[in-house]
Structure 1
């Protein structure tokens, strides 16, 4: 039964003709241009500014039931997408991804050896487009009149450029990054979904989600060490320009998440002290 179910999932996520025959074609695939990514980022930042400064102050607050329903639907979509992306990429045996960890998830190390096609690139493309849809997170925060942090806006804007560069440069770490990031998002959007339907969790669980994201960044640096070793001792890896951008971005996110975690932990500790 389990084997049959796994076979069906594999066919749907890896062997389906639309997935197996996918090819990333610059200028032809949806979003496969630098101008598309730049337009999304600039449009997002402009929309945040206009909504915060000009639109929302003039609008009455939306009903809470409507906001909760919209948030629940949004989080459910991203939860399902994250699970499909993580599983689809991990099950692509062409890159040894069935192991789902370690060097086996690297794309072929030799520079120029990676063909931008097949399940990994299909799910990386879905991942890229999902980051555009994920900008809806910000709209929901603004509509709920909750504080909008620099970490949130910076993360959501720059990750679009990062995902484009993964695909455009055929970055060798892309399968590892996709599986780990989508896997973390399964946990994160499960938490958000439960909160949006009224299930309240202790603050330590919210902190645990942030800590899981921090662990993800630390793991990405460990994976980068392996990739760099292969790059300099073998035939070279793909997409080193994309890797440099990704490494700097991850380092900045790690610093921001550590600062956010420290501030949240101090606030929770202070509140606990007052309660006592």
Structure 2
């Protein structure tokens, strides 16, 4: 039974004509111009400011039941989408990677030898567009009258530019980053979905989700060591300009996540200590 299911999944996620024939074409593919991510980021930041400062203070709070329903639907969509992207990119990489198969996910052949086409780049494009839908996270936070953090707004805006560069520069290590990030999001949105439908978890589980996100960034730096070794010893890797941006972004996110983790854990420890005393 497992073999037919795997074959069906492979056809849907790798061999389907829409997936297999994908080609990133600047000026033709949706989002394939620098002005597109720039406009989205500017629109997002402007909308956050206008909603937070001018619109929402004038409106009554959304009923809790409606907010929970909207959150549950939003998280369910992102959970399903994250699972599809992780599985689709993993299967696509396994099915289409040229020899040496272990090295290709780390290092795309340079100087025009790698085309932004085929199943792996299809899922990179889906991942890119999914970051637009993820901006709904911010809307739900605002509607719930919860505070927005610098980490949240910074991450949701800059990640759009990062995903554009993945495709525009045919960035090496992109399959590994996509599968890792989408896999972490499966866990994260499973947790959010369960909370939005009323399940209550001990605080350590929320901390575990943050820990997993931090581990993701540490893993990306470890994988980058392999990519850089291949770049300097095996003739170069494609998309190094995109990788530099990605590495700097990941380093800034790691610093912000560590700061958030430290502050949240310190507050939790302080609260539990106060109760004990």
- Residue pair 2:22, 2:121 contacting (<8 A) in 1 also: yes
The question of 1:166 aligning with 2:145 is answered: no
Alpha-carbon RMSD across the aligned residues, in angstroms, is 1.4
Q: Distance in 2 between matches of 1:159 and 1:70?
A: 24
Q: Distance in 1 between matches of 2:36 and 2:121?
A: 18
Q: 2:177 is matched with which residue? A: 177
Q: 1:249 is matched with which residue? A: 249
Q: Deviations over 1:233-256 (max 9, x none)?
A: 112111111000000000000000
Q: How do residues 98-247 of structure 1 correspond to structure 2 at under 5 angstroms?
A: 103=103, 105-247=105-247
In the alignment, structure 2 segments of 5+ residues that lack a partner are none
Q: 2:63 is matched with which residue? A: 63
Q: 1:94 is matched with which residue? A: 96
Q: Matched residue pairs, number?
A: 273
Q: Distance in 1 between matches of 2:63 and 2:8?
A: 42
Q: Distance in 2 between matches of 1:131 and 1:2?
A: 32
Offset, 1:38: 0.1
- Residue pair 1:109, 1:234 contacting (<8 A) in 2 also: no
Offset, 1:157: 0.3
Q: Distance in 2 between matches of 1:69 and 1:43?
A: 26
In the alignment, structure 1 segments of 5+ residues that lack a partner are none
Offset, 1:111: 3.6
Offset, 1:110: 3.4
Q: Distance in 1 between matches of 2:180 and 2:111?
A: 23
- Residue pair 2:108, 2:171 contacting (<8 A) in 1 also: no
Q: 2:16 is matched with which residue? A: 16
- Residue pair 2:23, 2:117 contacting (<8 A) in 1 also: yes
Q: Distance in 2 between matches of 1:199 and 1:43?
A: 34
Q: Deviations over 1:59-117 (max 9, x none)?
A: 000101100000000001110110000000100121279x9xx7452353334211111
- In the superposition, relative to structure 1, how do residues 91 and 107 fare at CA in structure 2: closer, same or farther (>3 Å)? farther
Q: How do residues 73-84 of structure 1 correspond to structure 2 at under 5 angstroms?
A: 73-84=73-84
- Residue pair 1:107, 1:175 contacting (<8 A) in 2 also: no
Q: Deviations over 1:150-200 (max 9, x none)?
A: 000000000000000000000011100000000000000000000000111
Q: Distance in 2 between matches of 1:95 and 1:136?
A: 34
